[in-house]
Amino acid sequence: MRILGVETSCDETAICLIEASGEFGPAFRFSVLGDTLASQATLHAQYGGVFPNLAKREHLKNLPVLYEAVQKQVGGVKPDAIAVTVGPGLEPCLWTGINFVQRLADESKAPVVGVDHMEGHIMLSMMAHGKLSDFEFPVLALLISGGHTELVVMRSFGEYEVVGRTRDDAAGEAFDKVARLLSLPYPGGPEISRIARAARSAGGPRLYNLPRPMLHENNLDFSFSGLKTAVRRQVEDKSVTDDERAALAREFEDAVADVLVGKAMRAIDEYGINTLVVGGGVSANDYIRERLKTALENEGNIAKLLVPPPELATDNALMIALAGYFHAQKKEFTDPSSLTADGNLALG
């Protein structure tokens, strides 16, 4: 089955065509036939974050261009089904993808699947070399992005239970906001990681002691707003040297990692987890990956760790096509005219 995936949830416009076969399990195989992506990161850098109306305009401009590029890559091959992100995300952006797919479906008569963006991240993180990685249920997904920080238990494909979520800022959002406080460019996550890495390599004393919000509370929820405020208190009304900026970045990244790792390990123990899947843009963070890997090793590898390639951690259409395939295989199609953008769509 050939599935076309369309992703426009935030500031990445992406279209991908895959060919896939088999059910969700060891027999599943897929190959990428065509893939395109247009990033708006540079465009939004002047605003220090994503400007929704600008993102919508760029999606409208990019979608037909990217679709034509994919068609050239695949020699005009048409999809058997189309998958499109319907949420969560910025609703003006989501609607651009939905409206585009509605027109495609009308022209091609291909059936349509509405895909949850976060399910797409989970599916992609579970793939390796054109197939599903070896894993065992139950699975715990740690989803860390600009809009989400969640712990989701997965007992089979499509069966999700959110057991922990952020009560305010998501981890990626906190990275971007702290980067602005430290006068670092957008997107902030890679910049904080860059100077934090340099600070660790240089050694030296720990200059700051930031809080680890909710780390020891008796739940699996997250909160990063107070951590951001703690950084603000360190920098407001004063001039910060480059060394102090790097030390603050290091301490902030340490604090986020401590909370993410601590909560994930607690969830693994509470739910008898066999596989830890990490997805979302922040999953590209090398330090957080290494901390999770070390924590699992120290506990005797109680769960297998699955993470996406760093270049596929951010939003892309491959993940939408993959999730869409499994729904299409079960014939879980949606009337294109009834597709609706839901910025707050939740798994489960």
pLDDT 10s digits, 130-182: 999 999 999 999 999 988 999 999 999 999 999 999 999 999 999 999 999 99
Question: Is the predicted pLDDT of residue 219 greater than 80, yes or no?
Answer: yes
Whole-number Cα distances in Å, 102 to 82, 96, 257, 288: 10, 10, 41, 39
Question: Is the predicted pLDDT of residue 92 greater than 90, yes or no?
Answer: yes
Question: Is the predicted pLDDT of residue 226 greater than 80, yes or no?
Answer: yes
pLDDT 10s digits, 19-74: 999 999 999 999 999 999 999 888 877 777 788 889 999 999 999 999 999 999 99
Same domain, 149 and 9: no
Same domain, 113 and 160: no
Q: Domain range holding 6?
A: 2-131+312-338
Question: Is the predicted pLDDT of residue 348 greater than 80, yes or no?
Answer: no
Pairing label, strands 112-116, 81-87:
parallel
Q: How confident is the model at residue 301 (pLDDT cuts 50, 70, 90)?
A: confident
pLDDT score, position 205: 81
Question: Is the predicted pLDDT of residue 80 greater than 90, yes or no?
Answer: yes
Residue 346 within a domain: no
pLDDT score, position 206: 85
CATH classification at residue 35: 3.30.420.40
- How many Å separate Cα 27 from the centre of its chain? 26
For the chain, give the percent of residues with pLDDT over 90.
90
Same domain, 139 and 243: yes
Q: Does residue 301 or residue 206 have the better pLDDT? A: 206
pLDDT score, position 210: 97
Mean pLDDT score, 110-137: 97
pLDDT score, position 254: 97
Same domain, 58 and 115: yes
How many domains does the chain contain in total? Answer: 2
Question: Is the predicted pLDDT of residue 78 greater than 90, yes or no?
Answer: yes
Residue 348 within a domain: no
Same domain, 298 and 179: yes
pLDDT score, position 302: 84
Which residues, including other chains, have CB under 8 Å from residue 152's CB and lie 6 or more apart?
118, 122, 140, 141, 143, 160, 161, 162, 163, 347, 348
Residue 161 within a domain: yes
Mean pLDDT score, 221-229: 96
pLDDT score, position 43: 81
In degrees to the nearest 10, what's the CA dihedral of 342, 138, 32, 115?
-10
Strand order in the sheet with 149-156: 159-165, 149-156, 139-144, 275-279, 304-306
Give this prediction's pTM.
0.95
Which residue carries 């993959």 as its tokens? 322
- How many Å separate Cα 30 from the centre of its chain? 21
